[in-house]
C-alpha cells in the first residue's frame, strides 16, 4: 500500500469571510491537522493525532509556531508575486504543497514540493535533479537564488527523502 503525507498552505488577499492563511495536513487523504490565521492554533482533526503529543509534548506548540511564522512570509510572498505580475489589489491566492509518499511493501519513497499563484504553478521542485524549476517567467529570479543555496538544497533533499518519510511512518502507525 502506498501512503502519503501532504501539507497544503494557502495564503489569500482580499477574500471576504475567509482566513488570510490556512494550513491543512493530510495522511492518506485524511485531514489530520488544521490551522488558520483566525484561530492562530494548530488543532488535531483525528483522535490518533494526540499520540504525536504523547511522544513529543511540545508537538502542538511547535506546529503552531511553524505556521505562525509561515503566515507572515506567505503574506510577503503575495506582495512579491503581485509586483512581479504587475498587479495591484484584488483577490490573490498563494499556495504551497509539499509532502512524501511511501510504499510499505516495496519501501519506495517519493516526494513533492511546489508553489502556486492564482491557481497556476509558480515554482516546482524537480525530485530527480533536486532543483527548482520556474514554470512562469516571473519565478525565474527565485529559482536562480534558491538553486544557488547549497545548504537549503541539501535540507530539502534530506527532508523529502528522510524526515518526511519518518513522520509519515509514525502517523501511519498511530
74-100: string of b/e by CB count within 10 Å (b at 16+)?
bbebbeebbebeeeeeeebbbbbebbb
User: Tell me, what's the pLDDT at 52?
Assistant: 82
* Average pLDDT of the segment spanning 114-127: 96
Q: What is the domain extent for residue 125?
A: 2-173
Rounded Cα distance between 118 and 3, Å, is: 29
Pick from 155, 153, 104, 160: nearest CA to 132? 153
Q: What's the pLDDT at 56?
A: 84
Which run of H or E residues covers position 69? helix 59-84
pLDDT confidence bin for 51, thresholds 50/70/90:
confident
Q: Which residue has the cell 505562525?
A: 68
Mean pLDDT of the chain: 95
Let me know if 145 is exposed, middle or buried by CB neighbors in 10 A (0-12, 13-18, 19+): exposed
- Does residue 174 carry a pLDDT above 90? no
**Cα torsion for 4, 118, 157, 68, to the nearest 10°?**
-80
Q: Please give the average per-residue pLDDT across 51-57, as a whole number.
A: 84
pLDDT > 90? residue 165: yes
The DSSP secondary structure of 118-155, one letter per residue, reads TTEEEEEEETTTTEEE-SSGGGHHHHHHHTT-HHHHHH
**Beta strands per DSSP E along the chain:** 2-13, 21-27, 30-36, 43-44, 92-103, 109-117, 120-126, 131-133
* Per-residue pLDDT tens digits for 143-157: 999 999 999 999 998
Is the confidence at residue 50, as pLDDT, over 90? no
Yes or no: say if 131 and 147 are a contact pair by the CB < 8 Å rule. yes
Q: Read off the pLDDT of residues 22-43 as tens digits, 9 standing for 90 and up.
A: 999 999 999 999 999 999 999 9
- Contact call for residues 115 and 96 (beta carbons, < 8 A): yes
Confidence of residue 97 (pLDDT cuts 50, 70, 90): very high
Percent over 70 (pLDDT), the chain: 100
Give the CATH number of the domain where residue 17 resides. 3.30.500.10
- In this predicted structure, the answer to whether residue 55 has a pLDDT above a threshold of 90 is no
Number of structural domains (the chain) is: 1
Whole-number pLDDT of residue 155: 92
Angle at 155 between CA 13 and CA 76, to 5 degrees: 15
Amino acid at each position: 500500500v502506498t501512503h502519503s503525507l501532504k501539507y497544503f498552505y494557502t495564503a489569500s488577499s482580499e477574500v471576504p469571510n475567509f482566513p488570510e492563511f490556512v494550513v491543512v495536513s493530510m495522511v492518506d487523504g485524511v485531514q489530520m491537522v488544521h490551522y488558520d490565521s483566525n484561530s492562530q492554533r494548530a488543532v488535531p482533526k483525528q483522535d490518533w493525532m494526540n499520540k504525536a503529543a504523547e511522544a513529543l509534548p511540545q508537538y502542538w506548540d511547535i506546529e503552531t509556531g511553524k505556521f505562525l511564522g509561515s503566515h507572515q512570509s506567505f503574506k510577503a510572498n503575495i506582495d512579491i508575486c503581485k509586483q512581479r505580475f504587475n498587479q495591484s489589489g484584488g483577490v490573490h491566492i498563494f499556495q504551497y504543497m509539499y509532502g512524501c509518499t511511501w510504499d510499505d511493501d516495496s519501501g519506495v519513497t517519493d516526494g513533492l514540493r511546489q508553489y502556486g499563484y492564482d491557481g497556476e504553478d509558480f515554482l516546482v521542485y524537480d525530485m530527480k535533479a533536486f532543483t527548482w524549476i520556474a514554470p512562469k517567467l516571473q519565478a525565474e529570479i527565485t529559482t536562480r537564488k534558491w538553486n544557488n543555496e547549497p545548504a537549503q538544497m541539501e535540507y530539502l533533499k534530506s527532508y523529502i527523502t528522510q524526515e518526511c518519510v519518518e513522520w509519515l511512518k509514525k502517523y501511519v502507525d498511530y
